[in-house]
Amino acid sequence: MAEIVSLRQAIATHVHDGDVVAMEGFTHLIPFAAAHEIIRQGRRDLTLIRMTPDLIYDQLIGAGCARKLVFSWGGNPGVGSLHRFRDAVEHGWPAPLELEEHSHAAMAAAFHAGAAGLPFATLRGYAGSDLRRVNDNIRTVTCPFTGEELAAVPAHRPDVGIIHAQRADRAGNVLVEGIVGVQKETVLASRRSIVTVEEVVDDLAAPSPNSVVLPAWAIDAVAVAPRGAAPSYAHGYYARDNAFYLAWDGISRDREGFEAWLREHVLDRESAGAEV
C-alpha cells in the first residue's frame, strides 16, 4: 500500500546500492527530481534500465551512480549525443559502464512481460540485426503452434521502478495522462515502486473511466515533487524545456563543465518537495 512520504525518505527506503532500477517516462514525465535525489544520496553500482536514457541517465552516469545500463536509444532527442554516456562507454569515465542493448520493441515487451509475471517476452524482432551478436540476452524461441522462430528477451523485473505522474489522491492512487510510455508496466514489473507527483489532491478527478490510474495498493511510495519531471514535461502542468535540452549539449560536453553544473544544480540543492 502506498505511503505518502518525502522524496528523500522514498529514495532512502527503497533504493539501495547495487539495485536494478528502472526510471521510466518516454520523453514525457521523466522522473528527474527522483534521479537527483539518488545522486545526492550517493547510490553506487546501480543497474539502470530505461528505453531512452536521455539527460536523466546522462546525469546519473556522469555522477558515478551506474555500473550497467540496459537501454535501447541513448541520445539527446533531436540534439545529438549524450556526452556523459559516451565518455563512460568510450573512456570509462567516471567508471566503466557495462551495456545491455536492445530495441524499443524488445524493451517495451520486456516491461510488459515483467508486469505480467512472465519470465520472458517474445516478439517478431531483431531480424538481421547485429544486436543479436552483441547481446546474449537476445535469443530465439520457436512457436509451438506454427514453428515460427521469434525473438525472446528476459522480462524486466527491476528491484525498484520509479515514475513521475500528474497527481495522486490522499490514499495514494495515481493518475497518469498524456504520453504514458511504459510507466504502468514499469511499476507493475518492479518489486518496489516509487511514484513522484506534481501534487496530492482530495479528488483524483480522472477525466475518463479509461484514464490510466495506478491503484495505491500497487505502489510502495508516493512523494510530492513539483516540477519533478523538468526539463521534460508534465502534460497539463508545464511544457518541455527544449531550450535546456539544447543547452545540455554544451553543459555536458566536458567533465569540468558537467561537474560544476552537478554541484550547483543537484548536489548543493535541497531535496525537492516538502518533508512529510
Instruction: Say whether residue 105 binds another protein (CB under 8 A).
Output: yes
Instruction: Say whether residue 245 binds another protein (CB under 8 A).
Output: yes
Cα separation of 155 and 184, whole Å?
15
CB of 63 to another protein, least distance (A): 19
User: x/- string (CB under 8 A) for another protein, residues 217-236?
Assistant: ----------------x-x-
Residue (of 208, 173, 266, 198) closest to 29 by Cα position: 198
The pairing of strands 149-154 and 120-123 is antiparallel
CB of 125 to another protein, least distance (A): 5
| Total site size for another protein, rule CB under 8 A | 57
Instruction: Say whether residue 103 binds another protein (CB under 8 A).
Output: yes
**Piece in contact with another protein (CB under 8 A), picked from 4-12, 23-31, 188-196, 263-271:** 23-31
Cα separation of 48 and 226, whole Å?
24
**In the window 127-166, what residues touch another protein (CB under 8 A)?**
127-131, 134, 148-149
Bridge partners of 169, per DSSP, are 201
Cα separation of 125 and 189, whole Å?
22
User: Closest CB to another protein among 78 and 209?
Assistant: 78
Backbone angles phi, psi at 203, to 5 degrees: -125, 125
Q: Which residues bind another protein (CB under 8 A)?
A: 26-28, 51-52, 71-75, 77-79, 81-82, 85-86, 89-90, 101-105, 108-109, 111-112, 123-131, 134, 148-149, 178-182, 184-185, 233, 235, 239-246
